[in-house]
Chain A
């Protein structure tokens, strides 16, 4: 999408939110606002129309706002939320698992043709994104305007994995879909659709090598729990890894305990994970958590034919059973 389209979409968005608030359709709106640097955004909850100028929509709105719905469940207020296509998946899971009521939620889907992962962009540039002045789209490239010169990079190389398989279409669960005519949106659709990063390097390893691979990664984990906190579907109000009493694992970041934590976390969200990639994105030490999540999602889909985040009426395969289930046990 061109920069101009984002500006226009933001204006449409503001008008829409203005109406939602003034007509009291929602009590407040969860939106994106400008972050500390021009290519960063942060979440904002607005109740007053006077806050309206803070609302933005641009290609840096990478994170998933629905993670804030977790802590709001149970309050009797109507919440409006801005959602990208991919965010709808986790909202569906939250509704399905009774974390939030559909009737208390106004989902405002906004057209999106890919958000920039600025860490990926930074790696491509070999320099701080903060040094750039602006980014403009010249499909299929992004033009990065640096003080001295312009650098062109392939847009797909700066996108999170999820965008490469996204269909950009309106979700049946969105209350409204805001879009704009932009011929660039169409362009991108044709050159995307690369397969997700596969798990093969691990599939071909021996058990020792695989365990070594994971322990090497887990030994860096400092258990900041950012991966758990950011996850939109990891919603227990009290996590079994918190609290003083009855600790399952030590507070200290021991590699063996980190192993227990990571496999438990992945398993607990196994039927809920919508592969949004947030957990891996926020990890300060780059642990490839998505490999665990994707593996589990694949096993669940192969075994039970279930995919999270699609339909509100689907039943999670761990909440039901079938007498004829595969039984490899004796």
Chain B
């Protein structure tokens, strides 16, 4: 399974670091990309990853109220709520996109979130975006 994880540098990325230094086990299916804040996410990042055929995209940011830029994650929450509806409408199961709130002290929650993402994706019946969508589709 392939999951792309966009983690905000102040909380979730630090949380992932903590999960590593605490030697917590979590599925090795994720590729982490560090972003300054969860609100740095442009829908294109997510769409591009999905269109390459990855199974899921997870976005992780500070807990609502704890964003290091004060309010960034409130905006992320609004945008991704709508983006999920758009994905659903255009034929991608919205479960393939998840947003998690993980603080720098929550190494355990980080590992837990990755497990959650993997188990959600394993349950899906539909296929991810085809690797080579031909004209004949």
Contacts and interface: CB of A to CB of B under 8 A. Distances in A.
Nearest to B98: A329
Interface in B58-101: 64-65, 71, 74-75, 77-93, 98-101
B47 A299 contact: no
B86 A303 contact: no
A211 B93 CA distance: 10
Contacts of A255: 133-135, 137
Contacts, number: 123
Contact of A248 (B48, B88, B134): B48
Contacts of A240: 42, 44
A304 B98 CA distance: 20
B91 A257 contact: no
Interface in A248-273: 248-249, 255-257, 259-260, 263-264, 266-268, 270
Contact of A207 (B48, B92, B98): B92
Q: Provide the main secondary structure of the chain A interface.
A: helix
Contact of A210 (B81, B90, B100): B90
A320 B107 CA distance: 31
Given A248-B48, A321-B75, A303 B64 contact: no
A327 interface: yes
Given A216-B137, A259-B51, A323-B64, A330 B86 contact: no
B129 interface: yes
Contacts of B77: 321, 325, 327, 329
Interface in A194-212: 199, 202, 205-212
Interface residues of B, number: 43
A273 B85 CA distance: 17
A219 B85 contact: no
Contact of B48 (A205, A213, A260, A296): A260
B31 interface: no
Interface string A294-312: 0110011001100000000
Interface string A179-202: 000000000000000000001001
B23 interface: no
Contact of B90 (A263, A321, A322): A263
B78 to A, nearest CB: 6
A219 B137 contact: yes
B48 A327 contact: no
Given A207-B126, A330-B101, A249 B48 contact: yes
A43 interface: no
Contact of A208 (B42, B84, B100, B126): B126
Contacts of B52: 256
Interface in A133-151: none
B91 A214 contact: yes
Contacts of B51: 256-257, 259-260
B133 A326 contact: no
A-B pairs, 4 with minimum CB distance: A211-B91, A210-B91, A321-B74, A329-B99
24 contacts: A206-B126, A210-B89, A210-B91, A215-B137, A219-B134, A240-B44, A255-B134, A260-B51, A263-B47, A264-B43, A264-B44, A267-B86, A292-B90, A295-B89, A296-B86, A303-B81, A318-B78, A321-B75, A321-B77, A323-B74, A325-B74, A327-B77, A328-B84, A329-B101
Interface of B: 42-44, 47-48, 51-52, 64-65, 71, 74-75, 77-93, 98-101, 113, 116, 126-127, 129-130, 133-135, 137
Interface of A: 199, 202, 205-216, 219, 240, 248-249, 255-257, 259-260, 263-264, 266-268, 270, 292, 295-296, 299-300, 303-304, 317-318, 321-323, 325-330
Given A323-B64, A327-B77, 17 more contacts: A208-B91, A212-B91, A212-B137, A215-B130, A240-B42, A248-B48, A249-B48, A255-B134, A263-B43, A267-B43, A267-B83, A270-B86, A292-B89, A300-B82, A303-B81, A325-B78, A328-B84
